[in-house]
Chains A and B, each alone.
Chain A
Amino acid sequence: MSEAAAPEMIVVIDDDFAMRLSCSKILSKMGLRVEVFENGARGLEGVAEHKPGLVVVDLKMPGISGLEVISRVHEIDPQIIMVVITGYATIDTAVEAMKSGAYDFLPKPFSPDELRMIINRGLDRRRLALQSQRGEVERALLKRQFVTFVSHQLRTPLVAIHQYLDVLKHLDQTKDDPVRRQEWIDRCLKRTEELQNLISDWLTLARVEGGTLVKERVEVDLKPIVSGILTTYEEMAAAEQVSLETVWPEEPLCVCGDRNCLNVLFDNLITNAIKYNKPGGKATVTGCLSGGEVVIAVADTGVGIPEQYRPFLFDEFFRVKGEGVKRTEGTGLGLHISKRIVSEMGGSIEVESQAGIGSTFRVRLPAWRAPAEDTELGSWE
């Protein structure tokens, strides 16, 4: 942090010349900046001018009392740490001072070590307070941005649907066009579906907030999972004029993971490969076992993902926009969820893409390894 470079400023307010001198010497030797003042009035001016991180104030001074100095310093800046110096005779007042916001007190006479210890503790306290204040501001800002963003994501399809219906209502009956009406109804249905998917994806993430998506770690063969998904989307692929293909070895491709999550993962990747494709294109799933990992690549022959978007591809709610990208009903959460699933299973996901040629999402997951015999027998117990 850049501000760590500047030493903290300490203001000392004491009517005793010797005390000012010794405090000044000790604190300067600690590498701190020090300003000293002989009474409360001057001291408060000094605090306003120098904006110290910590103020050492004598309780018993002529003129403005130490107690009043504490409350007036906190009017200037409540984050300033106040350390009170007091004689034994005024311990009760010191307790009073702590109640009114002083951080700590130091009874006279005190040793240089005692002063150093109390100042360091005070400064640590201040750093913590400032950090947590900054953290709170950042969290509040993030939360506000998130709420704005999510409400925008939820409202966008609703606005589109509402606008279609309202315009239909306002269009002159004589200008009503049955073909257009049908098209608009279809679009409304699509956008409703988008909203439903968005809500269910969002719920998936909200439910596991802080927890994990992956609930079990068992042996799962990816081949039947992928085949099952491809069968489900045969019709959709035919409608988009996209052919589906698999290239993989005879033997099973087993990983250690959660069956439901693996279904979600490959469902996301395969539907993307169909949706972001072009008529006459291909969606190919390639699988192999390589160096203790199962590598599954899902490739499309679509427009490709522009390079500038690739770093954000797995971010929450990120969606590629721009020329050549069709209006597709994505939630912006699919790849984010996919990445989380892969990471939780100890794997990785990466993307390669070439403009006009297509994109390939490559998932690497640790291959299933049969447990050693003795653990299976439970002989460790």
Chain B
Amino acid sequence: MSVKVLLIDDDQDFRVSVRSLLETRGYEVLEAGSGHEGLRQVLEHKPDVILLDVMMETSVEGYGVTHALKYRDEYAEHSHVPIFMLSSIEESPDERFPMSGEVEMIRPDAYLTKPLDIPRFLALLEKAVGGAGRVP
């Protein structure tokens, strides 16, 4: 059984290329074009890792999704699924929300800049889920 990666990003072209990359490495890829759709797919398909864009419909949508996944009861079963946050803006949550204690609540497991540094991205992903072919 292969590892399921949920890719939440509003740019379809970005999803197309990343999906191909991951599929050739043996991952199963699910796609969502919005935070809302992403949350729905989490419940339906139970992904093993989530790749999450920050700026979608709103400029902080990714943080909203992270917060929901970590703290809303209906996602309790999935609150420990690793989240890789992706953004083309070189700005970590700490910079976005300076001096806010709430940063801890929405800290992703990794923060990656788009376009992805492919070798680093694949290595981090592998580390997070323990290889594409096995579910951790």
Contact = CB atoms under 8 A, between A and B. Distances in A.
B19 to A, nearest CB: 9
B11 A156 contact: yes
B21 A167 contact: yes
B: contact size bracket:
20 to 34
A167 B34 contact: no
Given A163-B114, A163-B116, A180 B20 contact: yes
Interface residues of A, number: 27
Nearest to A184: B17
Contacts of B116: 163, 166
Contacts of A1: none
Interface string B1-36: 000000000111110111011001000000001100
A159 B59 contact: no
Given A151-B89, A152-B89, A171-B20, A164 B59 contact: no
A342 B20 CA distance: 45
A164 B24 contact: no
Contacts of A158: 88, 115
B13 A322 contact: no
A187 B16 CA distance: 10
Contacts of B89: 148, 151-152, 155
Contacts of A152: 55, 59, 88-89
Per DSSP, are chain A's interface residues mostly helix, strand or loop, or mixed? helix
Nearest to A162: B115
A175 interface: yes
Contacts of A184: 16-17
Contact of B17 (A145, A148, A163): A163
A291 to B, nearest CB: 40
B10 A321 contact: yes
A321 B34 contact: yes
A164 B20 CA distance: 10
B102 interface: no
B89 to A, nearest CB: 6
B99 interface: no
B39 to A, nearest CB: 15
Interface string B45-83: 000000000011101000000000000000000000000
Interface of A: 145, 148-149, 151-152, 155-156, 158-164, 166-167, 170-172, 175, 180, 184, 187, 191, 321-322, 327
21 contacts: A148-B59, A152-B88, A156-B11, A158-B115, A159-B14, A159-B88, A159-B115, A160-B13, A163-B18, A163-B116, A164-B13, A166-B17, A166-B116, A167-B21, A170-B118, A172-B24, A175-B24, A187-B13, A191-B13, A322-B34, A327-B12
